[in-house]
Amino acid sequence: MMPDDFAHMAMWWGPGMLLLLAFSYGLLRLAQLWMERTLDAKRRQMESLFAMAEQYVKQFLNAQRSQAEALGRLASSVEQSDSRDSLEHQQILVALRAMNGDIERLIEKN
């Protein structure tokens, strides 16, 4: 099945095959580069999304801490007053102090 003039056939097909291999290699490198850039862009988007979520959580926790501190100050001022505080008021004060402590622990973890 080999042609008689193998050298003649190699002369015709050899450069074409080299060009095909060179273009194939170039296209594969281009595709690899495109995929790396696409994945890098998606990674950066996810990092920025997580950074925004972290920022919002920190702002929320700071707002909660400020509210807990204000409620703690209010509770201590009510507790120090000599007015007639009922048992229900005392229970609310205890709950506010516990909530303030829980929020402080949450903020310290982050």
Q: Residue 32 falls within a domain, yes or no?
A: yes
Identify the pLDDT of residue 110: 65
Q: Residue 1 falls within a domain, yes or no?
A: no
Phi, psi for residue 85 in degrees, rounded to 5: -90, 135
Q: Residue 35 falls within a domain, yes or no?
A: yes
For the chain, the domain total comes to 1
Instruction: Give the range of the structural domain holding residue 48, as residue numbers without chain letter.
Output: 7-109
Q: Residue 2 falls within a domain, yes or no?
A: no
Residue 72 in contact with residue 99, Cβ under 8 Å? no
Q: Residue 51 falls within a domain, yes or no?
A: yes
Q: Residue 99 falls within a domain, yes or no?
A: yes
Q: Residue 75 falls within a domain, yes or no?
A: yes
Query: What is the pTM assigned to this prediction?
Result: 0.47
Q: What is the pLDDT along the chain (110 residues), one digit of tens a residue?
A: 456 677 777 777 778 888 889 999 999 999 999 999 999 999 999 999 999 999 999 999 889 888 888 877 777 766 555 555 566 677 777 787 788 788 878 777 76
